[in-house]
Amino acid sequence: MLKVQSKTWLPALALGLLLLGWACKDGDKIPLQTREVGFTHEGALEILKAGTDSIRVNLDIEIAETAYETQTGLMYRKTMEDRQGMLFIFEAPAVHSFYMKNTLIPLDLLFIDDSLKIVTIRKNAAPLDESGIPSGAPVQYVLEIKGGLSDRWGIAVGDAIRFERLP
């Protein structure tokens, strides 16, 4: 049987923890993901002008609905095309808050209620910012698109979405 002397390993453990704490300062936030994450085309989405069937824009979408997909979102993506987005689908309407941890590109977040109407738009969320981005109202869907596109396309509160999954 191996007998370990506490006088030997306790100082080494303390020194190791001290060095680990020194090497991992908050300012050194580096995403652990090293593999490039690409877009997975899982559906199509249209954003419709409020009160009409006029289509503002058509998008290819990824769909996030599992706990893992919802927590990961667009983290670690280095690029995203203008006509791509990620649609988060929740089981029931609720107030949600997002953050940009490990998200490398600015995003516009469109918070959408259970009737598929946009109720809140949060524009140009800053990459790597861990501050909360609240929905401000109960929502069942959230659409993330590249930062600045909601202004470019004239998307407004009251606009609606329509989407379908690929077979």
Is the pLDDT at 26 greater than 50, yes or no? no
Residues 6+ apart with CB under 8 A from 76: 31, 33, 36, 37, 102, 103, 104
More confident residue, 137 or 3: 137
Q: Which is nearest to 136 in space by CA: 115, 156, 120? A: 120
What is the structure's pLDDT at 12? Answer: 42
Domain parsing of the chain, residue ranges: 43-165
Q: CATH number for the 43-165 domain, one of 3.40.50.10490, 3.30.300.130, 2.60.120.1140, 2.40.50.100?
A: 2.60.120.1140
pLDDT at 25: 44
pLDDT score at 37: 84
User: Higher-confidence residue: 94 or 16?
Assistant: 94
DSSP β-ladder status, 84-94 and 55-64: parallel
15 vs 73, higher pLDDT: 73
pLDDT, one tens digit per residue, over 114-164 is 999 999 999 999 999 999 999 999 999 999 999 999 999 999 999 999 999
CB–CB of 76/102 below 8 Å? yes
Q: What pLDDT, on the 0 to 100 scale, is given for residue 21? A: 42
